Amino acid sequence: MMKKKTKKNTEQEVQVSQNERMRAAAKSRKKEKRKKELLLAFGVIFVVLILAALVGSFALFYVEGVSVSGNDGQYTDEQIIAAAGLADVSNMLSFRSNGAEKAIEWALPYIEDAEVHRVLPGKITVEVSYAVETYSVQVGNVWLHLSRMGKVLSSEQIHERGMIELRGIGINRYTVGEPAEFEDADKFESVRRLYDAAEKEGLQNLTFIDVSNTASVKFAFGSRFYVEGGNIAMTEKKMPLIANIIAEKKDTDSRYSLTLSSDGSVTIGDYKGSEPYIPEETAQDSELVPADPQIPTVVIDPDADSVG
């Protein structure tokens, strides 16, 4: 037989239920408080770390000085630093090195190339190289003197001695101190590649380069060697052989023609053409050249890297 619940028992059960809810609520409030305290602590730590990082980065990237190397030209270090916008810079992250380089090259025309580097901690270096008048190109009734990279350095009425005359190169627009705007940029790139290949082999007396036909470029060394027939890729490949031929031909009274064939062979013969490739300063030496020099024609094997 079931025992009846009394009113007293019911009141006790209600009291127990209320006490449990109060304890649960108190526990929940305590947990939330602890959570807020932890979040606050983490927030404080995070802010402290950020401040420490900012202070540390400021110390790390603070500019202590700017130095210039390679400056053996007409500008002072102060002019170069000012042109780069680095005279008053205090933080290494407050400028773009690429923008500083372009600013130098634009503001100071005779600087061909500038490189700006960040050197931690606290230093900025500016390395410059000066443009040298290397090529001469006739545009209308003037001669433009270009740097190795194609920057126009001056405009004169005459072709300067000692410079490489460029033929077959057209220029649409130019401003002294800025790169020339070529009609065909690939032709000037061929000139640069040929110059680089010759320099690599120690051949530094180029008198002219003719890229009127890039499939058969023409060029000359001094007043004695005239080369023609190859495209720029073949010419680059055969430049070591050309250098060996020039080194072996020591008879300074003779002029030679070197012809590059499509199969890669090099034919050596005497030069009898009318191409005016003798530089002006040595034109008088032409009197020493026999009217009909007896130079045997020699065909060098396509795969040869030397004459012998």
Q: pTM to 2 decimals?
A: 0.64
By C-alpha distance, which of 103, 188, 206, 196 is closest to 151? 188
- On whether the CB atoms of residues 55 and 48 are closer than 8 A, the answer is no
The pLDDT of residue 49: 62
Q: What is the pLDDT of residues 83-118, one digit of tens each?
A: 988 888 877 777 788 888 889 988 888 888 899 888
Q: What is the pLDDT of residues 18-33, one digit of tens each?
A: 667 677 666 777 777 7
The pLDDT of residue 301: 54
Once rounded to an integer, what is the mean pLDDT over residues 233-243?
93
The pLDDT of residue 37: 72
By C-alpha distance, which of 167, 160, 231, 150 is closest to 197? 231
By C-alpha distance, which of 264, 274, 263 is closest to 242? 264
The pLDDT of residue 94: 73
Tell me the β-bridge partners of 66. 124
Q: What is the pLDDT of residues 206-227, one digit of tens each?
A: 999 999 999 999 999 988 899 9
More confident position, 297 or 203: 203
Sorted by where each starts, the structural domains of the chain and their CATH numbers stand as 65-130 (3.10.20.310), 132-183 (no CATH), 184-308 (no CATH)
More confident position, 154 or 27: 154
The pLDDT of residue 24: 67
35-49, 91-105, 133-147, 247-261: range with highest mean pLDDT: 133-147
The two three-digit tokens of residue 241, written as one number: 């052989």
Cα 174 to Cα 143, 225, 281: the distances in Å are: 12, 32, 28
The two three-digit tokens of residue 295, written as one number: 């130079």
Q: Confidence class of residue 11 from pLDDT cuts 50, 70 and 90?
A: low
Say how far apart CA 134 and CA 53 lie, in whole Å: 51
Cα 241 to Cα 101, 217, 233, 308: the distances in Å are: 39, 17, 14, 10
Helix, strand or coil for residue 232? helix
- In the chain, the percentage of residues whose pLDDT exceeds 70 is 74
Say how far apart CA 219 and CA 73 lie, in whole Å: 31
pLDDT at 290 over 50: no
By C-alpha distance, which of 237, 236, 228, 217 is closest to 260? 228
Tell me the β-bridge partners of 165. 136, 208
Helix, strand or coil for residue 218? strand
